[in-house]
Amino acid sequence: MSNLHYHSIQNESTPNEFSSRTALVNSEQNTDSPGYQVESEKMMEKSHFTLRSIIVGLLFGTILCFSNMYFGLQTGWISMMSLQSSLVGFAVFKILQPYLETKFSIYENVLVQTTAVAAATMPLAGGFVGILPAFNMLDPEEIGDNHLLGINMYELSLWGFGLSLFGVFFAILLRKQVLVREKLRFPSGTATAQMIAVLHKRKDLEMKISKQISIQTGVKDPDNVSEIVGLDNNSTLDNIFNSPESLPHTSDESRIGNTNLNNHEHDDSDWQNKIILLVISFSISSLYAIISNFYPKLKKLPIFGSYLSETWLWNLNPSPSFAGQGIIMGLPTTIHMLLGALVGWGILSPLAKLKGWAPGKVDDWKTGSQGWILWISLAIMVVESFTSLALIIYDELLSAYERRITKYSRIPGGASDSASISSEESVVMESKHLVPNSVAWIGLVISTIICAIVMKVLFSLQVKMSIIAVVLACVLAVLSV
């Protein structure tokens, strides 16, 4: 949902027509002035949709797509990488800056991360790491006369095209409800918007985003806002890129010149160190992948002994890529996964084997404990999902009841009423760059028809069944948001 926060940056300024970009860049004005930086940023950022941003976003998104496909098939987990996409996009164009005719704009940065995230999440959005593998695990008697997708490129492309459209249009319709009225924060999207503002040194946007978050969360201290959205503080990113704004300013021109020169030299050195670290990390991971391909035993190290390794499949896979994925997932998620592994494979698997509930080999999906504990995990997830759904419905009904009571008890034209209306109107009135709801509704209808036709061609599925599935998907999308 990070692309829903595009309005935080998109609506901030309207680019003006001008004819002398080169003269503006080469002018001898004080570029350290915040007012000049904001004004020049607004003038330089004329193009919102550029080919170079699409290319960089697609290249990085394709790499992330392969990564998510690889890890998704093994763990069922993918990462949006919105923060990383923004950072990589900015870094790429920072390196290429001497060769660019026009400055890399803040709008292009948003476009890069949006394109990269859209490509990166395709394995999950298209069902390539969940539905399609499940189809191919069915037995012939379970499949019957039904046609299932294999590895045919034409069918897979058609499948992905049919599933990837209606969600985009439906997300547009959710904006007013979830962002304007309910003012949901969307931590990843908010953090991405704030980081992009920091990278481009847009203090005005930083303050606006911080103000919005403080209103929504009730946090009055701006210094604590960055912690809420997932950034330690703004100076962290300033230090990453060694922004001159993090250095003290004085009235002594020579001191400013020396400071900027030293900072520029330190900036180049810092970037070289970062590139060296990336190359070293990439080399180590690549070397392990190549060696483990020729020596598969490296993927299953029997750290608990050969008996536990062969009997209960207790092995260690020292994969650097999984370590990196764990860093991205964060501590809470990985701890829960570790606890699940300990309970499932350390307690339930031996228990099912010893009690005779799963008498087959451990790695047998039908009679072994591996398939048995799968049903336990599915039951846990389904129960939690339904419980969460029930709580959400209860909260929504309670909120609707409270709003109804407040509506009749509030004095019309009161201060809180006026503030609420003005707050909503301020966001709506600034939405001239957003897609109209009429376009979203038309796109949703057309994409639903396309989805139904694709499912009819691939699986001979009735059109009405596809339409019902789309309606249910939209309802579940509201709940997931």
Secondary structure (3-state) at 181: helix
Residues 364 and 239 in one domain: no
Residues 238 and 97 in one domain: yes
**Structural domain includes residue 91:** yes
Q: What's the rounded Cα separation, in Å, for the pair 299 and 292? A: 7
**Under a CB-based contact definition with an 8 Å cutoff, are residues 229 and 187 in contact?**
yes
Which of 342, 317, 338, 318 has its CA nearest to residue 329?
338
- How does pLDDT run along the chain (481 residues), one tens digit per residue? 444 443 433 333 333 333 333 333 333 344 444 454 445 445 455 567 889 999 999 999 999 999 889 888 887 778 888 888 888 899 899 888 888 888 888 999 999 999 999 999 888 888 888 888 888 777 777 777 777 777 778 888 888 888 888 888 888 888 777 777 666 667 777 788 888 888 888 888 778 777 766 665 555 554 554 444 444 444 444 444 444 443 334 344 444 444 444 555 555 566 667 677 877 887 888 888 888 888 888 888 888 888 888 888 898 888 887 887 787 777 888 898 899 999 999 999 999 988 989 888 888 888 888 889 988 988 888 888 778 778 877 887 888 888 788 765 555 544 444 444 444 444 444 556 677 888 889 999 999 999 999 988 888 888 899 899 888 888 777 766 6
Report the number of distinct structural domains present in the chain.
2
Q: What's the rounded Cα separation, in Å, for the pair 72 and 125? A: 12
Domain boundary among 354, 379, 409: 409
Q: What's the rounded Cα separation, in Å, for the pair 187 and 210? A: 12
Residues 94 and 207 in one domain: yes
β-bridge mates for residue 316, sequence order? 301
Q: What's the rounded Cα separation, in Å, for the pair 437 and 176? A: 10
Angle between helices 320-329 and 253-294 (to 10 degrees): 130
Q: What's the rounded Cα separation, in Å, for the pair 190 and 226? A: 10
Q: What's the pTM?
A: 0.65
List the domain range (segments joined by +) for residue 356: 299-409
Q: Quickly tell me which residue has 């290429």 as its tokens.
A: 96
What are the C-alpha distances in Å from 456 to residues 133, 295, 462? 20, 45, 6
Residues 40 and 114 in one domain: yes
Secondary structure (3-state) at 316: strand
Residues 77 and 7 in one domain: yes
Residues 303 and 201 in one domain: no
Q: Which H helix or E strand runs over 30?
A: none
Q: What's the rounded Cα separation, in Å, for the pair 68 and 323? A: 14
Q: Read off the tokens for 277.
A: 């670290």
Domain boundary among 360, 383, 409: 409
